[in-house]
């Protein structure tokens, strides 16, 4: 049975950040303990009800991809047993599948997005301007159409409550310098391309994905946070893909659709979600884990 955790509680550890989904603790030796909770955010608001096991699924999916892509781009994971860092008396079973020990990195202040298909804000921007993050695209593309080649479409990391905004590659260069900007661009496209090919063999299209990067004291670049999860990516079942429509996906769209139907104003606090919707959402995360990583939580 998956465990359920809305908020972590690790007395004695130094909580440095409670994100929408993850609780982040500082560990000695310039390391972090990152706990993925079962919080669900929609439209950037954290909903009051947990999705049981979601944090475990996110962590397991991320760990799977971090492992698979480690030969391409170094990642933040450290091979430290959790029992070594959790406070004495902690329920190990509650944390072992949802927590990781990582390097503590200096975040690169950009959401590194790769897109292989035209959907979401990419589709919106293209319709408005014919281009995306300053990249001119051919005329006449349709919604959900595959791009001739994957493109790097960075966005700014918005403060809590704000929405991210697509920016040009030049804006990234201005923020972090040409060298780091190019490293992030290449790493993002490399990971996306590798993962998209991997998923394609399993009948899943990865339409786009968002990565986060950080640097260590020596300026070395690592991919951090989460990787290729349903929260950070659009996964489409290949058999249901059609150009011109927004395909059903393994992400939070199901909850978003429910919330849209409720007429909620998208301001905090978010509404309670019925058990049926929570159940379907949990099943979608489990299905993504199974189909992509061939993993099952038991
Ligand atoms: N190895 C790392 N070193 C430093 N920071 C990291 C590392 N891995 C992840 N983070 C940061 O930890 C946080 C994870 O929390 P979470 O994903 O819940 O945040 P979020 O709600 O997406 O974003 P926000 O930080 O804006 O609240 C993010 O701010 C992420 O950038
Ligand atoms: Mg996050």
Radius of gyration of the chain (CA): 19
What is the pLDDT averaged over residues 3-31?
Answer: 97
Q: Is cis: bond before 47, omega within 30 of 0?
A: no
CA distance 90 to 17: 20
Q: Per-residue pLDDT for 222 more than 80? A: yes
Inter-axis angle of helices 275-293 and 253-262, nearest 10? 160
Distance 151 CA to ligand 1 centre (A): 24
Among residues 102, 30, 25, the alpha carbon closest in space to that of 63 is found at 102
- Percentage of the chain modeled with pLDDT above 70: 97
Q: Per-residue pLDDT for 249 more than 80? A: no
Point out the ligand 1 atom lying closest to the alpha carbon of residue 36.
Answer: 18
Q: Would the pTM count as exceeding 0.75?
A: yes
Q: Considering the chain, tell me which residue range(s) the CATH 3.30.200.20 domain(s) occupy.
A: 1-104
Point out the ligand 1 atom lying closest to the alpha carbon of residue 157.
Answer: 26
Q: Considering the chain, tell me which residue range(s) the CATH 3.30.470.20 domain(s) occupy.
A: 107-251
**pLDDT tens figures, 178-215:** 999 999 999 999 999 999 999 999 999 999 999 999 99
Ligand nearest to the CA of 110: 1
Distance 247 CA to ligand 1 centre (A): 28
pLDDT of residue 159: 59
Q: Is 252 touching ligand 1 by the criterion CB < 6 Å?
A: no
* 146 — pLDDT class (breaks 50, 70, 90): very high
pLDDT of residue 158: 66
**pLDDT tens figures, 50-63:** 999 999 999 999 99
Strands 233-237 and 165-166: unpaired
Nearest CA to ligand 1 atom 13: 19
Q: CATH fold of 1-104, please? A: Phosphorylase Kinase; domain 1 (3.30.200)
Residue 109, C-beta contacts closer than 8 angstroms, at least 6 positions apart: 156, 157, 175, 176
Q: CATH fold of 107-251, please? A: D-amino Acid Aminotransferase; Chain A, domain 1 (3.30.470)
Q: Per-residue pLDDT for 161 more than 60? A: no
Q: Per-residue pLDDT for 160 more than 60? A: no
């Amino acid at each position: 049975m998956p465990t359920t955790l809305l908020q972590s509680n690790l007395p004695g550890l130094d909580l440095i950040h409670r994100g929408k989904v993850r609780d982040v603790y500082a560990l000695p030796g310039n390391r972090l303990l990152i706990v993925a909770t079962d919080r669900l955010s929609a439209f950037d608001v954290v909903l009051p009800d947990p999705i049981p096991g979601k944090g475990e699924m996110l962590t397991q999916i991320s760990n799977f991809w971090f492992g698979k892509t480690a030969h391409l781009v170094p990642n933040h994971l450290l091979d430290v047993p959790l029992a070594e860092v959790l406070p004495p008396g902690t329920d190990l079973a509650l944390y072992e599948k949802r927590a990781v020990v990582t390097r503590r990195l200096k975040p690169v202040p950009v959401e590194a997005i790769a897109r292989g298909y035209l959907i979401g804000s990419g589709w919106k921007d293209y319709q408005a301007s014919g281009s995306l993050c300053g990249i001119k695209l051919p005329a006449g593309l349709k919604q959900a159409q595959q791009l001739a080649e994957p493109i790097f479409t960075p966005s700014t990391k918005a403060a809590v409550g704000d929405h991210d905004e697509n920016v040009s590659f030049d804006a990234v260069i201005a923020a972090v310098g040409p060298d780091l900007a190019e490293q992030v661009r290449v790493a993002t496209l490399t990971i996306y391309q590798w993962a998209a090919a991997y998923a394609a063999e399993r009948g899943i299209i990865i339409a786009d994905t968002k990565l986060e990067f950080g640097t260590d004291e020596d300026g070395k670049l690592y991919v951090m946070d989460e990787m290729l999860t349903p929260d950070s990516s659009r996964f489409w079942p290949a058999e249901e893909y059609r150009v011109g429509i927004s395909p059903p996906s393994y992400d939070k769209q199901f909850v978003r659709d429910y919330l849209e139907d409720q007429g909620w104003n998208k301001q905090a606090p978010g509404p309670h979600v019925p058990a049926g919707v929570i159940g379907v959402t949990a099943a979608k995360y489990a299905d993504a884990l199974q189909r992509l990583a061939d993993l099952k939580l038991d």
